[in-house]
């Protein structure tokens, strides 16, 4: 148990040193706060954003977009992934179009969604869902393909029906890769919501970044970025926790590493 | 030395008396003129098995030994009903084997336990697949685990067990529905030598308690001889039976049996068969 503790201390030490160098460099070279604000000024701004209550409506809006988009995208990814994996006709008819859709850069079609779904939360939720959809879809398909051949033989030798093989072997086997996909989607969800807000919004952390940037409040922009990465880390952590709970048989060292 | 061996090609129903089997009864499993051909991706036809004839009596322990590519696993898969023969007779109790049978238990080279289920649930799998969840069944599973020295591991997960223990669980699972036939495909191939020897002894103990017809595939000659009533020696390209050898070594056999001269003679003889094969291969 000593090893992880030592590693944690080292990581913290690196962070402290980096922030100290950043702070020192800004002061020694007298860098303009518009170019690079000092960490201390960012922290002060971050504190102010919360105490003045300015950030709350934006934070809520973004959280709603991220969470609903994530859930919608993941559910759609799971459903389509399962259908493509289990129904051959579906794979032939639908999968090529889904792949074609995936090749479209989401940022480029975001303005269309604003036109179709308006400036409100709906357009951002749709964009987020679309961004989350593909990693989940691909991981579900890969997951169903990853069933161990020997275990399939084993089920067959013991006289399992197709349905029993599906529920007792193929779905649990697929979970390992599905959770890897969910982890990626969790992080992408934040990006999706912010992209949507950049293109057109009246509220949200992405909208706040654009506004603060416009007002040359660079420490404010940094402060919002910290909040955004905190949301991303929390989403990722949540999925890691769920993965460890539901696919407990994969030891940590073997768990898919996703960033 | 060779002359003293009771070695003969299996071509008739007249067989030398061997220990485990009941010779009065007709063959339980009958394989005659079995052929198995595969089509490769490039469209070539490969003969995995060619003119395989073998009769197996009830409660007989048959070891199958041969180099990789000799079709021994294919033979077992056909007996398990996982694959169909291209032609020939593969019968059990006079009925052609065309799919998995309920009276067959199978043990694979990998333990193939379901990692998300506990040891007990894994052993119960064959019963659960038949929607049998009675208390009696659970009792039987627990009894099997206790018999295999795994009593305290029933609620553990497979990843908490060593390789040897996992394979023991998979043997319990194969025995769960009291099969008449046990098919084992190099079950101890992935284990280290020490574990392997103790597993051999374990298997002997199981077989003496719950008599079954066992078809045991291995690439270890001593293992084949130690366990088998008869050893089927196979050779590759195309996969076929070169010889069927009666192991006229008394039971119970222990690890000390491996030190007896008779045991050594039989092993040497099998090695000679393989040696002759590789010589022919070089000559060709």
> What is the per-residue pLDDT across A11-33, written as a single tens digit (0 to 9) for each?
899 999 999 999 999 889 988 88
pTM of the model: 0.80
Shortest Cα distance, chain A CAs vs residue B265, angstroms: 36
Shortest Cα distance, chain B CAs vs residue A149, angstroms: 10
Q: Enumerate the residues of chain A whose CB falls inside 8 A of the CB of residue B109.
A: 150
Residue B217: closest CA among B38, B71, B23, B33: B71
The CA distance from B73 to A152, in Å, is 16
Q: State pLDDT tens for residues B244-262.
A: 999 988 888 888 888 999 9
The answer on pLDDT for B127 being more than 80 is: yes
Q: Enumerate the residues of chain A whose CB falls inside 8 A of the CB of residue B125.
A: 158, 168
Residue B108: closest CA among B216, B220, B186, B177: B186
User: What confidence score (pLDDT) does residue B26 get?
Assistant: 74
The shortest CB-CB distance from A153 to any of B82, B115, B157 is to B82
Q: Please tell me the number of Cα atoms within 13 Å of A199 on its side-chain side.
A: 23
Confidence of residue B281 (pLDDT cuts 50, 70, 90): low
Residue of chain B whose alpha carbon sits nearest to that of A171: B116
Instruction: Kindly give the residue spans of alpha helices, DSSP state H, lying in chain A.
Output: 2-28, 39-51, 56-86, 88-103, 106-117, 121-145, 149-157, 162-165, 171-199, 205-214, 218-246
Q: Identify from A159, A167, A252 which residue to disrupt to test chain B contact, counting B C-beta atoms within 10 A and taking the largest count.
A: A159
The shortest CB-CB distance from B129 to any of A159, A248, A249 is to A159
Residue of chain A whose alpha carbon sits nearest to that of B177: A158
Residue of chain B whose alpha carbon sits nearest to that of A158: B126
User: What confidence score (pLDDT) does residue B9 get?
Assistant: 43
The CA distance from B257 to B269, in Å, is 17
User: What confidence score (pLDDT) does residue B23 get?
Assistant: 55
Say yes or no: B125 contacts chain A, CB-CB below 8 A: yes
Choose between B80 and B7: higher pLDDT: B80
Across the interface, do A164 and B129 touch by the CB < 8 Å criterion? Answer: yes
The shortest CB-CB distance from A169 to any of B108, B109, B114 is to B114
The CA distance from B28 to B196, in Å, is 29
DSSP secondary structure of A185-217:
HHHHHHHHHHHHHHHS-SSSHHHHHHHHHHTT-
Strands B29-39 and B87-92: antiparallel
**Is the distance from CB of B53 to CB of B91 less than 8 angstroms?**
no
Q: Enumerate the residues of chain B whose CB falls inside 8 A of the CB of residue A168.
A: 114, 125, 128-129
Across the interface, do A158 and B126 touch by the CB < 8 Å criterion? Answer: yes
On average, the pLDDT of chain B sits at 85
Across the interface, do B100 and A153 touch by the CB < 8 Å criterion? Answer: no
User: What confidence score (pLDDT) does residue B25 get?
Assistant: 63
The answer on pLDDT for B234 being more than 50 is: yes
Across the interface, do B82 and A156 touch by the CB < 8 Å criterion? Answer: yes
For chain B, how many residues are written? 284
Confidence of residue A224 (pLDDT cuts 50, 70, 90): very high
Helix (H) or strand (E) holding B213: strand B213-218
Q: Enumerate the residues of chain A whose CB falls inside 8 A of the CB of residue B128.
A: 168
User: What confidence score (pLDDT) does residue A208 get?
Assistant: 93
Beta bridge partners of B245: B7, B231
Q: Is the dihedral of CA B250, B256, B262, B268 positive or negative?
A: positive
The CA distance from B269 to B267, in Å, is 5
The answer on pLDDT for A163 being more than 90 is: yes
């Amino acid at each position: 148990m000593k090893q992880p503790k030592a590693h944690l201390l080292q990581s913290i030490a690196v962070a402290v040193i980096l922030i100290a160098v950043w702070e020192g460099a800004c002061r020694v070279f007298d860098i303009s706060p518009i170019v690079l604000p000092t960490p201390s000024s960012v922290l002060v701004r971050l504190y102010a954003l919360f105490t003045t209550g300015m950030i709350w409506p934006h934070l809520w809006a973004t959280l709603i977009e991220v969470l609903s988009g994530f859930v919608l995208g993941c559910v759609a990814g799971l459903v389509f992934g399962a259908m493509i994996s289990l129904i051959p006709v579906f794979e032939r008819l639908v999968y090529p179009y889904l792949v074609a859709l995936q090749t479209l850069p989401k940022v480029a079609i975001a303005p269309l969604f604003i036109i179709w779904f308006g400036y409100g939360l709906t357009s951002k939720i749709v964009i987020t869902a679309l961004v989350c959809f593909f990693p989940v879809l691909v991981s579900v398909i890969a997951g169903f393909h990853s069933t161990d051949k020997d275990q399939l033989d084993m089920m067959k030798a013991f006289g399992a029906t197709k349905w029993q093989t599906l529920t007792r072997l193929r779905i649990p086997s697929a979970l390992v890769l599905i959770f890897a996909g969910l982890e990626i989607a969790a992080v992408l969800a934040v990006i999706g919501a912010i992209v949507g807000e950049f293109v057109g919004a009246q509220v949200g952390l992405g909208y706040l970044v654009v506004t603060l940037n416009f007002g040359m409040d660079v420490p404010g922009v940094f402060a919002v970025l910290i909040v955004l990465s905190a949301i991303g880390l929390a989403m990722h952590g949540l999925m890691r926790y769920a993965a460890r709970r539901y696919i407990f048989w994969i030891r940590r060292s073997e768990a898919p590493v996703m960033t | 030395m060779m002359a003293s061996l009771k070695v003969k090609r299996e071509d008739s129903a007249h067989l030398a008396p061997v220990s485990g089997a009941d010779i009065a009864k007709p063959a339980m499993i009958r394989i005659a003129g079995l052929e198995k051909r595969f089509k490769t991706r490039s469209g070539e036809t490969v003969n995995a098995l060619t003119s395989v004839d073998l009769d197996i009596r009830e409660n007989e322990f048959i070891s199958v030994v041969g180099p990789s590519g000799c079709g021994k696993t294919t033979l077992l898969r056909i007996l398990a009903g996982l694959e169909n023969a291209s032609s020939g007779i593969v019968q059990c109790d006079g009925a052609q084997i065309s799919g998995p049978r309920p009276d067959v238990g199978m043990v694979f080279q990998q333990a193939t336990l379901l990692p998300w289920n506990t040891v007990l649930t894994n052993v119960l799998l064959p019963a659960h697949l038949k929607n049998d969840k009675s208390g009696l069944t659970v009792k039987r599973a627990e009894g099997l685990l206790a018999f295999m020295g795994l009593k305290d591991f029933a609620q553990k997960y497979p990843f908490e067990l060593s390789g040897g223990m996992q394979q023991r669980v998979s043997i319990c699972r194969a025995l769960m529905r009291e099969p008449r036939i046990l098919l084992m495909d190099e079950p101890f191939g992935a284990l280290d030598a020490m574990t392997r020897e103790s597993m051999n002894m374990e298997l002997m103990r199981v077989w003496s308690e719950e008599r079954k017809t066992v078809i045991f595939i291995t690439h270890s000659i001593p293992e084949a001889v130690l366990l088998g009533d008869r050893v089927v020696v196979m050779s590759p390209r195309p996969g076929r039976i070169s010889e069927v050898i009666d192991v006229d070594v008394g039971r119970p056999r222990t690890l000390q049996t491996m030190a007896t001269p008779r045991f050594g003679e039989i092993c040497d003889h099998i090695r000679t068969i393989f040696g002759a094969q590789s010589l022919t291969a070089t000559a060709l």
